Amino acid sequence: MQSPERSSRDLRPALVFLSGELIAAPIPLDREEVILGRALEADVRVIDSKVSRQHARIFTVEGGSIDGKNYVVEDLHSRNGTFLNGRKITKETLQNGDKITIGEHILRFDLLDEVDREYQKHIHRLISHDDLTGLLSSRSFFSELRREASRAKTETRPFCVLMMDVDHFKLVNDTYGHLTGSKTLEEIGSLIIKIMRSGDAASRFGGEEFSAFLLDADLAQGIVAAERIRGEVEDAEFTVVRHGSPGSKHKVTISIGVASFPEDSRDPIELVEMADTALYRAKREGRNRVCAYREISPEELAQGLRPRTE
């Protein structure tokens, strides 16, 4: 029996991803119609080759028990169909807990109160972000990168991918201990976040490696931004976590590789590999430096000093 605290007046309908890149993310159904699909203009965009551009919609009809409305899911003549609780449907009224499958993704129709909504957001954040640095996890980074690549192809605009690796990080752990190593990664993550613009994304790629993509940035602008990150890390003093030595600091440097869309590649995974190749060239050439995947002229690089458009 539902408690008075969870009366229908307190509940709001939402879709919660049970699989895929947006797992646990709650999508509020606060509009009369919500389109699910692969297209850029879809209200709930699902990056899945088995999902049609406009795959299904959820809309309201009068006379239901949720604020006087019923919520209905309807297939929009999709190529692979829309399934409700495992059954292929054309149009069905949704009940609390129903599971909608489109392509490889499963979404649950849920009635959530405020506590439920905050809990789902928290779970999604735990899954999608690195708990040490607060940056995106590598999985979420690739999800956002694929989304950005698709948008950039449609809107014909550039972006850059950065791969970053802390130099001689094993020496930090060996000299100061793993607590200092973890604190150093956390502080480097904070430095990267401060330098990123709104819309850019950064992740802890794994271990002492970081990645980022910069929106509306050509190669020259990407190199300038990467050099700023490199310089900030070189100038910073990082915390030594050691009993009896309050205020102790140490220094590290970082090497960075840069690749650009669309000149280097139009494939997001290949761009990461290219930036990684440039990163390892920076390592081979002496570390604490920025290298681009392809050569760039001094004139081109000078153009990178111009501000990126907001």
Catalytic amino acids? 208
Please give the torsion angle defined by the CA atoms of residues 202, 126, 140 and 38, in that order, rounded to the nearest 10 degrees.
-130
* 122 CB neighbour count, 10 Å cutoff: 11
- In the chain, the N- to C-terminal Cα span, in Å, equals 52
Question: Under 8 Å CB-to-CB from 114, ≥6 apart: which residues?
Answer: 10
* Pairwise CA distance, residues 119 & 113, whole Å: 10
Query: Pairing relation of β-strands 56-66 and 238-239?
Result: unpaired
Handedness of CA 73, 74, 78, 84 (dihedral sign): positive
Nearest alpha carbon to residue 36 among 95, 88, 106, 89: 106
* Pairwise CA distance, residues 187 & 189, whole Å: 5
> Would you call the peptide bond into 262 cis, given omega within 30 degrees of 0 as the criterion?
yes
* Pairwise CA distance, residues 67 & 153, whole Å: 41
